[in-house]
């Protein structure tokens, strides 16, 4: 069961990297970021509605806190818009690495926003990850000033989104996923007349637009299926394999590879997050055996 969960998790990450690469291609082709985001959420929501509403009905919408679900939806939209905008300015691997600062921001903010305890290993992880980020965004690197600002804003927004997700953990995971897509679809559709401007697109580009919703839906479905079969502490370290998929797609599709110094910074960010995830898993196993955490 664990090996199947790990495979599902990794496959989902590859699909999500494919979504990112598709979004980057479309933004570079001149498609407005908000239009790409609209397609991503609307197709996602249509698929979820077609598959889940016939079997779950109104139960899919049952939540203990609608305001928290809507806040999470707003943060989800903001994160997507910021990340697609970042992809228009930054290589895929670097943009993905910047986004991996989000778990470190979560660790830094959780004691104040969620009341979690301060732990030394988390702060060490934050410091190492921040050092890696400084290496990636160094003067003369592959990110310009606006790209750095976008990357930090996206990572911070993604961190707030993850914190908001924890605040609705009492709801069914599919309900939370559905509200996220529905919120994005409704909000972006209301604004559609103000930003619907498309350059002439070829057939494959239209297919790519629709595919963003497909890869987003199936990528998140695989993630949910993986976390249903295995604990988060087991799967979290494998999340950093997404850097490999982002690097591979960045090279295959865009001919972009991080230079050695940037690769070192990416490695530091991944090592920080991976190290904290491994320590958290070890502490969780100790706690399950009744051993007091240090």
Buried-exposed string 62-95: b where 16+ CB fall within 10 A, e elsewhere? ebeeeebbbbbbbbbbbbbbbbbbbbbbbbbbbb
Q: Percentage of residues in the chain with pLDDT exceeding 70? A: 91
* 293 belongs to a structural domain: no
Is residue 184 included in any domain, yes or no?
Answer: yes
Domain for residue 106, yes or no? yes
Residue 276: closest CA among 86, 161, 132: 132
Which pLDDT tens digit goes with each residue over 14-58? Answer: 998 999 999 999 999 889 999 999 999 999 899 989 988 898 888
Length of the chain in residues, anyone?
294
Mean pLDDT (whole number) for 167-188: 86
For residue 128, tell me if it sits in a domain: yes
**For all residues of the chain together, what is the average pLDDT?**
83
Interval 79-109: pLDDT, tens: 999 999 999 888 898 888 888 787 777 777 7
Question: How many Å separate Cα 202 from the centre of its chain?
Answer: 28
- pLDDT score of 84: 93
**How many Cβ atoms sit within 10 Å of the Cβ of residue 188?**
21
Instruction: Assign 116 a pLDDT band (cuts: 50, 70, 90).
Output: low
Number of domains within the chain: 1
* Residue 112: inside a domain: yes
| In-domain check, residue 256 | yes
3-state secondary structure of 230: coil
* CA dist., res. 119 & res. 128, Å (int): 15
φ/ψ (deg, to 5) at 137: -100, 15
Q: Which helix (H) or strand (E) holds 205?
A: helix 203-229
Confidence check: pLDDT of 1 > 70: no
Residue 294 resides in a domain: no
Annotate 130-171 with DSSP letters as a single string: HHHHHHHT-TTSS--HHHHHHHHHHHHHHHHHHHHHHHTTTS
Structure token digits, residue 208: 């790519």
Pull the structure tokens for residue 266: 């990416």
| Tokens 């998140």 belong to residue | 220
**pTM for the whole thing?**
0.83
């Amino acid at each position: 069961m664990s090996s199947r969960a790990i495979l599902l998790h990794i496959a989902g990450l590859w699909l999500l990297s494919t979504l990112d690469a598709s979004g980057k291609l479309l933004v570079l082709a001149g498609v407005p970021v908000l239009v790409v985001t609209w397609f991503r959420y609307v197709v996602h929501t249509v698929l979820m509605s077609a598959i889940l509403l016939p079997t779950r009905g109104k139960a899919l919408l049952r939540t203990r806190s609608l305001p928290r679900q809507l806040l999470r939806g707003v943060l989800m939209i903001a994160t997507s818009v910021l990340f697609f905008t970042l992809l228009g300015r930054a290589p895929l691997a670097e943009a993905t690495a910047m986004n991996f600062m989000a778990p470190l921001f979560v660790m830094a903010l959780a004691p104040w926003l969620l009341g979690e305890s301060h732990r030394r290993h988390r702060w060490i992880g934050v410091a190492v990850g921040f050092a890696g980020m400084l290496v990636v965004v160094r003067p003369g690197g592959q990110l310009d000033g606006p790209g750095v600002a976008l990357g930090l804003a996206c990572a911070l927004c993604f961190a707030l989104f993850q914190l908001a997700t924890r605040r609705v953990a009492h709801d069914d995971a599919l309900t939370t996923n559905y509200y996220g897509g529905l919120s994005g679809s409704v909000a972006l559709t209301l604004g559609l007349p103000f930003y619907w401007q498309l350059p002439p697109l070829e057939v494959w580009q239209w297919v790519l637009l629709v595919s963003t919703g497909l890869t987003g839906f199936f990528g998140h479905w695989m993630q949910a299926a993986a976390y249903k079969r295995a604990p988060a502490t087991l799967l979290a370290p494998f999340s950093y394999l997404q850097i490999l998929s982002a690097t591979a797609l960045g090279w295959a599709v865009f001919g972009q590879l991080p230079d050695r110094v940037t690769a070192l910074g990416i490695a530091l960010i991944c090592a920080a997050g991976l190290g904290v995830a491994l320590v958290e898993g070890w502490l969780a196993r100790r706690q399950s055996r009744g051993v007091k955490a240090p």
